[in-house]
């Protein structure tokens, strides 16, 4: 039966590939090319780092293998957490489980099929990132193709062990606390763990290993470099097996290879034993509904009180309350908010650690930060703002039957996204200016430009979301990767890049004045730049908004 279930998966994948349209095929090829480019970029970075460390006298190879051990330990941790997150969905909330649970199949067969699916989806992307590192390591050290084959042989049980550990934790938690709310709590905690792992890696300041003035510190830890890194964790077994193969110790290599495969078999066998006792209990409990408390009348809602204070009617306030409830009801949004906060904190920490002593260079970087922050805002807009209209789904006709104008709905979507986006922009702009100690003119110009960019990108997100509505999709990623998502992202990036180009003229005149040119400012050029910014932002605000509103007003269904 397990083979039959796996054939079902393979047949479904084949049918999906055959059913791709021309646009979807080109889009997937473009994404694949972008992924290959990213892997090549990782390879180039790893190669430069490892080649530099290999030139360090006496401890070069020790540094390489110590870094490899740390890389494998981090990978094991991330795959374990990813296995926990993935198994929550595949084992308990997958759309085909209701059909499978009613079919003449044993629970064990269903668990095997779903657990193998969880192991694959939890580990393939993280494992793929290891390939550029191993290729760079082999090239730097002069290892042949046999080294790559040895890595693949060791990688399979290593990833299976890591993902199985996460699946086991999921089984136990859902068995002890069989509730749909447990999934929400575990999802948030697991995402918070990923954020902490990312932050800890950044706070370790790995760039110090490639700074010549810090290498004497590394030399003081020669014994530390020789010591095993977590010797009882499978990551060390993988590292030791690879290093043994590289040193020609084939006996030691096969010993660690057997240890990994035997451990993977034992752990998966224990996992099946746990599943026979716990899986169906946890699955049944996870399907229960959630008790909701009665809500107060609309007049007592905080949005309505704020609306009355501002002199507005109850319609927009109720729409805002509805948007807020729908947003925070999805626990994935909570976890993504935690992840975004962590990324912002690490971004600001990286800015703080930049080795810059010249005030003018700091001011230039503060201005260039507007472009980087603008790209970040555009990416957040693609995830949160652009899908807002399409996420109405089949309830869109309920909204249209209410006495609510399309323009009011779009303004509510804009306001709901603009508030958190503005907070993110302020955090990136104000804190970066303070950390870099930018001069007053640069700080004011960059902050004002970033705020205007944020509002324009949000308006474009709502406008393009209305222009390309997709009310029948089941997954938000289908909205993001659609033609409308591509157009929105391309337009946003073009808008940010054009804004930076226009603002570079006033910045150039400002720095000429700082360097002693009394006639640096040409007010005609400054006026042209101001007019160009007004026209650019008017087009960004109005063109997608007007076209999107007209599209929604005339929408009659797919």
Q: Is the domain of 268 the same as that of 367?
A: no
Q: With 50 as the cut, is the pLDDT of residue 224 above it?
A: no
Where a domain ends, among 268, 284, 300? 284
For residue 178, is it within any domain? no
| Residue 197 covered by a domain | no
Q: Are residues 531 and 397 in the same domain?
A: yes
Tokens at 475, concatenated: 């997954």
Residue 392 has a pLDDT of 79
In the predicted structure, residue 329 carries a pLDDT above the cut 70: no
Question: Looking at the structure, do residues 261 and 363 belong to the same domain, yes or no?
Answer: no
Residue 215's pLDDT is 45
**What is the DSSP secondary structure assignment for residue 522, as one 8-state letter?**
-
* Whether the predicted pLDDT of 412 surpasses 70: yes
Those residues whose C-beta lies under 8 Å from the C-beta of residue 255, and which sit 6 or more positions away, are none
In terms of domains, do 384 and 532 share one?
yes
For residue 135, is it within any domain?
Answer: yes
Identify whether residues 511 and 384 lie together within a single domain.
yes
Q: What is the pLDDT of residue 389?
A: 84
The whole-model pTM stands at 0.62
Q: Is residue 405 part of a domain?
A: yes
Structure confidence by residue, pLDDT tens digits, 11-69: 877 887 777 777 767 767 877 787 788 788 888 888 888 888 778 766 677 778 878 88
Could you report the per-residue pLDDT of 260-310, keeping only the tens digit for each?
Answer: 999 999 999 999 998 888 888 877 776 655 445 445 455 556 666 665 555
Let me know if residue 195 belongs to a domain. no
Q: Are residues 278 and 396 in the same domain?
A: no
Residue 295 to residues 292, 298, 301, 321, 323, Cα–Cα distance (Å): 9, 8, 9, 12, 15
Pick from 43-47, 345-349, 514-518 the range whose average pLDDT is largest.
43-47
pLDDT of residue 260: 92
Is position 106 within any domain?
Answer: yes
Q: Are residues 492 and 368 part of one domain?
A: yes
My answer on whether 277 and 365 are in the same domain is: no
Give 143-159 pLDDT, tens digit per residue: 888 999 999 999 999 99
pLDDT at 39: 85
pLDDT, tens only, 123-150: 888 888 889 999 999 998 888 889 999 9
Asked whether 544 and 464 are in contact (CB, 8 A), the reply is: yes
**Is 345 in contact with 428 (CB distance < 8 Å)?**
no
Which pLDDT tens digit goes with each residue over 352-368? 777 666 777 788 888 88
Residue 162 counted as domain residue = yes
Nearest CA-CA partner of 298 in 321, 278, 269: 321
Residue 389 domain boundaries: 359-553
- Nearest in space to 171 (alpha carbons), one of 289, 315, 276: 276
* pLDDT score of 229 more than 70: no
- Looking at the domain assignment, is residue 379 inside a domain? yes
Among the listed ranges 253-267, 466-480, 489-503, which one has the minimum average pLDDT value? 466-480
Q: Of 284, 304, 329, which residue sits at a domain end?
A: 284
Q: Which long-range contacts (CB under 8 A, 24 or more apart) does 17-23 make?
A: 23/483
Q: How many structural domains are present in the chain?
A: 2
Which is it for the CA torsion 55, 61, 67, 72, positive or negative?
positive
Position 160 scores a pLDDT of 92
CA quadruple 203, 209, 215, 221: dihedral sign: positive
User: How high is the pLDDT of residue 456?
Assistant: 94
- On average, the pLDDT of the chain sits at 78
Q: What is the mean pLDDT of residues 456-474?
A: 86
Q: Both 270 and 366 in a single domain?
A: no
């Amino acid at each position: 039966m397990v083979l039959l279930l796996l054939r079902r998966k393979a047949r479904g994948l084949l049918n999906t590939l055959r059913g791709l349209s021309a646009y979807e095929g080109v889009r997937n090829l473009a994404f694949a090319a972008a992924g290959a480019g990213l892997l090549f970029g990782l390879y180039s970075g790893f190669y430069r780092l490892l080649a530099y460390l290999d030139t360090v006298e006496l401890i070069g190879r020790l540094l390489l293998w110590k870094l490899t051990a740390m890389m494998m330990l981090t990978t094991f941790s991330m795959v374990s957490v990813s296995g926990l997150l993935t198994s929550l969905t595949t084992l308990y909330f997958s759309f085909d489980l209701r059909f499978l649970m009613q079919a003449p199949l044993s629970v064990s067969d269903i668990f095997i099929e779903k657990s193998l699916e969880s192991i694959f989806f939890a580990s393939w992307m993280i494992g793929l990132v290891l390939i550029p590192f191993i290729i760079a390591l082999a090239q730097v050290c002069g290892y042949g193709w046999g080294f790559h084959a040895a890595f693949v042989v060791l990688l399979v049980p290593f990833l299976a062990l890591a993902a199985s550990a996460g699946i086991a934790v999921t089984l136990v938690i859902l068995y002890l606390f069989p509730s749909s709310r447990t999934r929400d709590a575990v999802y948030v905690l697991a995402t918070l763990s990923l954020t902490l792992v990312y932050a800890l890696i950044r706070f370790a300041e790995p760039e110090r290993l490639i700074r010549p003035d810090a290498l004497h510190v590394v030399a003081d830890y020669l014994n530390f470099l020789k010591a095993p890194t977590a010797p009882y964790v499978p990551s060390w077994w993988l590292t030791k097996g690879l290093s043994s193969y590289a040193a020609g110790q084939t006996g030691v290599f096969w010993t660690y290879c057997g240890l990994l495969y035997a451990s993977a078999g034992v752990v998966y066998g224990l996992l099946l034993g746990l599943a026979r006792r716990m899986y169906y209990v946890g699955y049944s409990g996870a399907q229960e509904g959630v008790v909701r408390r009665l809500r107060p009348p609309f007049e007592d809602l905080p949005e309505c009180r704020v609306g009355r204070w501002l002199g507005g009617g109850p319609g927009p306030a109720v729409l805002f309350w509805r948007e807020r409830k729908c947003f925070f009801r999805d626990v994935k949004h909570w976890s993504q908010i935690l992840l975004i906060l962590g990324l912002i904190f690490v971004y600001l920490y990286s800015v703080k650690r930049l080795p810059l002593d010249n005030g003018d260079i700091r001011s230039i970087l503060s201005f260039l930060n507007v472009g980087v922050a603008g790209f970040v805002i555009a990416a957040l807009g693609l995830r949160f703002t652009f899908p807002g209209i399409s996420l109405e789904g089949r309830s869109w006709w309920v909204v249209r039957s209410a006495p609510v104008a399309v323009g009011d709905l779009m303004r509510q979507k804009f306001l709901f996204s603009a508030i958190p986006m503005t907070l993110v922009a302020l955090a990136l702009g104000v804190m970066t200016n303070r950390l870099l100690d930018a001069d007053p003119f640069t700080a004011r110009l960059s902050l004002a430009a970033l705020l205007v960019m944020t509002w324009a990108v949000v308006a474009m997100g709502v406008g393009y979301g209305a222009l390309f509505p997709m009310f029948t999709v089941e997954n938000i990623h289908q909205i993001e990767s659609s033609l409308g998502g591509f157009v929105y992202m391309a337009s946003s990036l073009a808008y940010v890049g054009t804004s930076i180009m226009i603002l570079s003229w006033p910045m150039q005149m400002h720095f000429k004045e700082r360097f002693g040119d009394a006639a640096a400012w040409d007010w005609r050029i400054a006026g042209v730049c101001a007019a160009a910014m007004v026209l650019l932002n008017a087009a960004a605000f109005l063109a997608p908004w007007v076209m999107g509103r007209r599209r929604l007003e005339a929408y009659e269904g797919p």
